[in-house]
Amino acid sequence: MGWDREGVLAGRYRRLDRIGQGGMGAVWRAHDADLDREVAVKELRVPEQVAEDERAVWYARMEREARAAARLRHPGIVTVHDRVVGEDGRPWIVMELVRGRSLDRVLAEQGALPARRVAAIGLAMLDALSAAHANGIVHRDVKPANVLLEDERVLLTDFGIAAVEGDATLTRSGAVLGTPAYMSPEQVEGRSVAPASDLWSLGATLYAAVEGRPPFTAPAHGGLFVAIATRDPAPPRCGGPLAEVLRGLLTKDPADRPSPEHVRELLIAAAKGLAGRSATVAGPPRSATLVDSMAGAAVIGRDQAVAVRGALACIWITVAFTMLLGAGDDFPLLTQIEHWVPVGLVLAVILSIGLWSLTHRPVLALVAVAVINVWVTVGALLANHALGNEMQADADATFSWLAGAFAMMFAFAGANRVLAARIPSVGSRQALLSVVVVLEGLVMTLWPWAVAGLGGMQLHPPDHGRSEEFFVSALGIMLLAWIAAQAVLRPARAGLDPGR
């Protein structure tokens, strides 16, 4: 299957004209007869002399591009509408038609761009990459040629070599994938890639945009790889926050690169004060800004890594101190209930350690923290005061309850980032997250009463002196702080965003 004699693909897409061409294919403007709209059709052309196994790799790469992009719904990522497979197995991708130019072409025609415009472009690229990373996708080929500029929009495209979590295709030992001038040190050394690898490539792209050349150049790939792995780029001449962004992102060790949120703050500072069209080139309001305010408002960190690791650290501390608080009663959590409860709790904590490095999986971290939180708090309640159908929170159960709620703040903040990235409409995103935040606050503070009620039991707060008053007040403060911060800090932070 391919273009028929009348220039129609799959009986539906009529070829109009070619809008781009490279060594391995072309992109066509076409008309979708079924939906009466114009689309872009990406055609792969593999030379006849290419061996079958290598041809299969190229086909799989394009299939991967379609799958990866189809998982993402974000205004800063080119939308994939359809995939067509020919009789020879060759895939065709039908995409959103972007009526603009690539950043690579703009740089070739205009040379280096003003620092403020580059910062605004960087903000939009960072938001698109954050959405991809939140969905377990590492792009691996961020470069000016894969950044499209359409009026006020900035779009990321070409996920052909993306590392998709849970997808082992194209994973070949020793394979080096990417565009050499924009590859991270870990890529040129053949090491595994992570979201931090895309941040390096983002830095290299922005460096090229503001300096007029890539950060590293060499006559041959070998020399280029050595430069990327061992040398520092020339100090950017732009100065200010943008130069700080470039220096940070082009750090050799991925662990030493700044967090996406810190990069965003610096880029906002660099882009502040823009006027006219360049002020809005960053595109639609960024979902991450809303979730970042949640994290800041709840004092739980300002990026996804802090949210995930903060949640894990808090819940581990909760378990440890809950055990210690019960020491005076011969560890009732270990001695007065079935042994499988503490054993299962310890196993859950051990398994959760593996999530420390999976900061791009905040929903998984939320599930793990929630399970451990319920396990340790219910265990403490049952171990101390299970009298008939009544339970009363003792010191260890009270601590577990409050500390577990704090851990859930971290976990919810990280998971909200993924939720926000999946909703392209700003109005819908804000409306939904406003409701979600209230529900999350109620869940993380009041869930033990709900669980006790489902079990046909009555749960009473601690009754030692003024402990009940303190306990109820603490829960109320946590709930109100979580909710109120969204209304107070979100507008304050949004006001710093030049893209709004």
- Give pLDDT tens digits for 438-469: 999 999 999 998 888 888 888 887 776 677 78
Contacts of 414 (CB under 8 A, 6+ apart): 295, 304, 307, 308, 311, 362, 365, 366
User: Between the CA of residue 142 and those of 25, 28, 43, 125, 408, what are the distances in Å?
Assistant: 19, 22, 21, 9, 34
- Give pLDDT tens digits for 218-273: 999 899 999 999 999 999 999 899 999 999 999 999 999 999 999 999 999 999 84
Pairing of strands 80-85, 37-44: unpaired
| Candidate from 359-368, 406-415, 416-425 with smallest mean pLDDT | 416-425
Higher pLDDT, 362 or 33: 33
148: enclosing H helix or E strand: strand 147-150
Q: d(Cα 162, Cα 169) in Å, to the nearest integer?
A: 10
All domains of the chain, ordered by start, with CATH? 8-96 (3.30.200.20), 101-284 (1.10.510.10), 294-494 (no CATH)
Residues at the binding site for ATP are 42
Q: At which residue do the structure tokens 């739980």 appear?
A: 300
Higher pLDDT, 378 or 178: 378
Question: What would you measure as the largest C-alpha separation in the chain, in angstroms?
Answer: 88
Beta bridge partners of 156: 77, 147
Mean pLDDT score across all residues of the chain:
80
- Give pLDDT tens digits for 4-46: 888 999 899 999 999 887 656 788 999 999 999 999 998 887 7
Q: d(Cα 36, Cα 278) in Å, to the nearest integer?
A: 32
Active-site residue set: 141
Residue 280 has pLDDT above 50, yes or no: no
Residue 300 has pLDDT above 50, yes or no: no
Q: d(Cα 256, Cα 250) in Å, to the nearest integer?
A: 10
- Give pLDDT tens digits for 113-151: 999 999 999 999 999 999 999 888 888 889 999 999 998
Pairing of strands 458-460, 390-392: parallel
E-assigned strand segments in 65-133: 80-85, 91-96, 101-102
Q: What is the side-by-side strand order in the sheet with 458-460?
A: 386-387, 390-392, 458-460
Contacts of 261 (CB under 8 A, 6+ apart): 288, 292, 295, 302, 303
Beta bridge partners of 15: 30
Mean pLDDT, rounded, for 275-287? 36
Residue 392 has pLDDT above 50, yes or no: yes
Residues at the binding site are 42
User: Between the CA of residue 397 and those of 283, 321, 461, what are the distances in Å?
Assistant: 48, 10, 10
Mean pLDDT, rounded, for 169-188? 68
Give how far the C-alpha of residue 170 lies from the chain's centroid of Cα atoms, to the nearest Å. Answer: 23
- Give pLDDT tens digits for 52-85: 888 888 788 778 777 777 888 899 999 889 989 8
- Give pLDDT tens digits for 413-426: 888 877 765 665 55
Q: d(Cα 123, Cα 132) in Å, to the nearest integer?
A: 14
Give the tokens for residue 377.
């708090």
Give the tokens for residue 48.
């006849």
Residue 170 has pLDDT above 50, yes or no: no
